[in-house]
Amino acid sequence: MTNPGRPAPPFGRTLCAMITPFTETGALDLDGARKLADRLVTEGCDGLVLNGTTGESPTTTDAEKAELVRAVREAVGDGVPIVAGVGTADTRHTVELALSAERAGADGVLVVTPYYSRPPQDAVEAHFREVADASGLPVMLYDIPGRTGTRIEPETMIRLADHPRIVAVKDCSYDFLGTQKVLARTELAYYAGCDEHVLALYAVGGAGCVSTVANVVPRRIAEILEVFEAGHTARAARLQQRATPLIEAVMDGGLPGTVTAKALLNALGLPAGPVRAPLRPAGREAADGLLAVYEEWGRDVTA
């Protein structure tokens, strides 16, 4: 059921920020990526975000990024939106990656704010416009100042919304008021990039989510938004609340979401493999704790 008063999301509603599977020797596991992508789509994800933070983009090569997009496109077919992370600290390199993603078969690009150099807002705006001008793909801006050190300020976002190919935002700003200001003044499709905000952002007009936790429980994350869309708001709230312990364990347990998601996937016998340095795998105690939370939640939602 689709709400006729809500614009159709450009990349689907429930997107997974997919991990990048590696072999035990640390090589790119394309077969594992195909299997995982197929499972995610079969279990309720409308689209996939590859080569993002959760996909360990800082430690994959440009060639590996393109290979991953091609492999996942082969696995899921043409009907599933693929958004490829292309953001770097270098505008020229970002443009190169956007063009490469387009050639590899991506449907859109995820572009993070340039990090480390901390450019002022006029430079941030110019960066995004140059990337959006470079290819024919629609752009999802990635606002995550906790990692980049630089916010895409609401006024900058509002100006960027006039670009015909800048269509969406992955919102990890933790500024709910700022987000609502942009929603009220633009047609940008806002996706919750923080799993604890999946329902809250959707309820005020967001387009959906780009979820890390969906790597493990895609159907459960999709269900939150499906139930809300069907008009069962109280039940949707309960589903979001029931997900909170797992969201906390994966996203706020002292380890990066990539590490915790891969630990759970490995424990469940699903494609994941190791993380690449400088990340380190979850220790046995942490992995056992994650699995216990996952199993407890499974008992709760089926009770």
CB distance 141 to 152 below 8 Å: yes
**Which amino acid is present at 34?**
R
Give the list of residues 6+ apart from residue 89 with CB closer than 8 angstroms, or none.
Answer: 114, 115, 116, 117
Distance of alpha carbon 277 from alpha carbon 176, whole angstroms: 33
Asked if 35 is an active-site residue, the reply is no
**Of 65, 170, 191, 262, which residue is the catalytic one?**
170
Does residue 120 have a cis peptide bond before it, meaning omega lies within 30 degrees of 0? no
Residue 142 bears catalytic tag: yes
Dihedrals φ, ψ of 244, to 5°? -55, -45
* Catalytic site residue from 65, 116, 142, 294: 142
For the CA atoms of 87, 90, 91, 92, the dihedral, rounded to the nearest 10 degrees, stands at -110
Please identify every residue annotated as catalytic: 142, 170
